[in-house]
Amino acid sequence: MEFISQELLEYCQEHTSPEDDLLRHIIRETNAKVLMPRMLSGQLQGKVLELFTKMLNPDVILEIGTYTGYSAVCMARGLSKNGKLITLDINDELEEMVRGFFHKAGLTEKIEYRLGNALELIPQLEEEFDMVFLDADKINYGKYYDLVIDRVKKGGIILADNVLWSGKILISPDKKVDKDTRAILDFNKKIHEDPRVENVLLPIRDGIFMARKL
């Protein structure tokens, strides 16, 4: 996932505001109890999400893919006074752990945690969104984007994680790729060619695509 040297990464981390006790607790518990802990956002990406949110000061954030709640906590800290974050995840096995983290963070009133298939849950939501963070199954990134783009407010942003896909996106046009890599390639092309947004692909961790609604 990391595309710079370990030394440069450590330098970046040393010059990034440190995680607090709660975020470090989420990391420890995730590494100890959950498969694939590398899916955590981590210090650099978490702080990027937190600062983006604080600059935007959104009323409503939609997160698609909660995992163990690290990124939700980071983003919820930047909500407006009466704002809320709606986070969707299909894995109910992590529910007790995630709700516990939100409680420890003092964010249960700010975070609306819903379990189920996001493709079914999103159409049920009534809100418009100031910010959307995609970090779920890659095969459906394009479908998630189509479901939310018309409900993102003018000037709002969509962030999508893992768009560099550990470098797998660097392939020759005639090479056969797996379905997840193909989904990411198609999604990146879709965003870049969408006239409704202006966009930048940030090489942070595994890549974050930012699209701002025009």
- Give residue-wise pLDDT tens across range 15-33: 999 999 999 999 999 999 9
Average pLDDT over residues 177-194: 94
Domain assignment of residue 194, yes or no: yes
CATH number at residue 27: 3.40.50.150
Residue recorded with tokens 């600062």: 51
Structure tokens at 179: 């379905």
Number of other residues whose CB lies within 10 A of the CB of residue 113: 18
Closest Cα partner for 86 from 54, 40, 46, 118?
118
Q: How many distinct structural domains can be found in the chain? A: 1
Which range marks the domain in which residue 80 is found? 6-213
Q: Please answer whether residues 176 and 185 qualify as being in contact, where contact means their C-beta atoms are separated by less than 8 angstroms.
A: no
In the three-class reduction of DSSP (H, G, I as helix; E, B as strand; rest coil), residue 67 is classed as coil
Domain assignment of residue 13, yes or no: yes
Q: How far is it, in rounded angstroms, from Cα 82 to Cα 23?
A: 23
What tens digit of pLDDT does each residue of 113-152 get?
999 999 999 999 999 999 999 999 999 999 999 999 999 9
Q: How far is it, in rounded angstroms, from Cα 21 to Cα 19?
A: 7
* Secondary structure letter of residue 45 according to DSSP: H
Domain assignment of residue 61, yes or no: yes
pTM of the model: 0.95
Q: Residue 4: what residue type?
A: I
Domain assignment of residue 1, yes or no: no
Q: Residue 150: what residue type?
A: D
What tens digit of pLDDT does each residue of 2-19 get?
678 889 989 999 999 999
Q: How far is it, in rounded angstroms, from Cα 70 to Cα 98?
A: 9
pLDDT at 37 over 80: no
- Give Dmax over CA atoms of the chain in angstroms: 51
Structure tokens at 173: 């046009």
